[in-house]
Amino acid sequence: MESLRIETERLVITTFDKSMAEIVHMNSLDEDNRSFVPDEVFETLDIAMETILYLMSCYGKKDSPLVYPVLLKNGDNIGYVQVVLYKTKWEVGYHVAKKYTGRGYGTEALQAFLPVLMDYLAIKEILGVCLKENIASQRVLEKCGFILTFSGLDSYQGEDRELHKYLYSKEGIE
């Protein structure tokens, strides 16, 4: 989706632009990001800019990662939501910067994002995968209607890790 704007009571989900590189860089450095999604840590501003340019080039495609920043209504960038291919299925992902966690922003963003992106991709199911120790992500997925389908050892970011895999089905809620 080349153009996206989803508004909730407190949030705006939109497309990246180059001006977001610095905050994306800073948000990526927090301890949760380093622990749970180390491949999404951008150690320098240049790496963050390069990543944003790549992600912007993916908009409008249906075979690439689709990543969108999450902003507070005042414009503060607090994280992102995304869909990426995981093996043969789409997987949802999200991150809320540490200083904004514990306020329900992840759940609010994911609830608004899911129907829009699932319709865009014409899919009825989507995965949620997180490390077993990532309790906050498990809570977000469960609040959004995902059902736990697997708990155990599996490959994650190139390593065998203890995972929880969830499935969300549109048919389960219609």
pLDDT at 105: 98
Instruction: Give the amino acid at 13.
Output: I
What is the pLDDT, as a whole number, of residue 174? 43
pLDDT means per 10 residues, the chain with 174 residues, are 92 96 88 78 90 94 93 96 90 93 96 96 95 94 97 88 94 57
| Short-list 65, 113, 93, CA closest to 166 | 93
- Count of the separate structural domains present in the chain: 1
Provide CB contacts within 8 A for 49, sequence distance 6+: 18, 21
Q: What is the CATH number of the domain that holds 79?
A: 3.40.630.30
Range of the domain at 11: 5-172
Convert 90-141 into a string of H (helix), E (strand) and C (coil).
EEEEEEECHHHCCCCHHHHHHHHHHHHHHHHHCCCEEEEEEECCCHHHHHHH
CA distance 82 to 113: 9
pLDDT score at 32: 79
What DSSP letter does each residue of 48-103 carry, written as one string?
HHHHHHHHHHHTT-SSS-EEEEEEETTS-EEEEEEEEEETTEEEEEEEE-GGGTTS
Confidence at residue 1, expressed as pLDDT on a 0 to 100 scale: 74
Kind and range of the H or E run holding 7: strand 5-7
